[in-house]
Structure 1
C-alpha cells in the first residue's frame, strides 16, 4: 500500500452537500492531511469582515498587521483596534519599574 489517499466521487458529493467545494476538499486532504470523511463534513469557518476594525485601528495609529497579530493572539477586536502600542522606550520604563518592585518585594 502506497499511503496515497484517493478522493472519490462520493466524497466530492458529500462535501458539496455540506457547502465544501471540490478544491477545498482536495486542499484539506492533500495539504492538511485530513481524512476524506473529515474533509467532506467539517464545516467551513465563516470569514470575518474585519474592515471596520482595520479602519478603527488606523484611526488609533495601529497598523493592520499589528491588528491581525493581536487578533491571532486571542484579543477581542475592539481592544486590538484601540489599545495604544507600547513604544520600546516606554517598555524600558515599565520593565525598570517592575524590576524595582520585584527587588523591593524580595528584600528583607
Structure 2
C-alpha cells in the first residue's frame, strides 16, 4: 500500500468528519423535571422547546460575556490612578472670563 494515498484518505476523512460535526452539532441535555414543566408552560405555541432552550442559552452567554467585560473594566479602572475633580477649576475659569449676556 502506498503511504501517501493512505495519508490523503485520512486527511479527506478527517475533513468530512469536521464538516459533519459543524452541521450536526446536536447534543442530549437532561433537565430537572420541574424546570422542564415550567419551560413548557412559558413557551408560546409557535416555538418549540428547542427554540426556547436556544434562546435562553444565547441570552445567558451574552449575559456572562457582558459580566466578564464589566469585571475586566472594573479591574482595569482600579489600576488607573484617580483623576482630580476638575469641576472647581472649570468654575474658576468661567468666573474669570468676561461674558456678554
If the length of structure 1 is used for normalisation, what is the TM-score? 0.29
Bigger helix fraction? 2
Please say which structure displays the higher CA radius of gyration.
2
If the length of structure 2 is used for normalisation, what is the TM-score? 0.30
Which structure has more RCO (C-alpha within 8 Å, separation ≥ 6)?
1
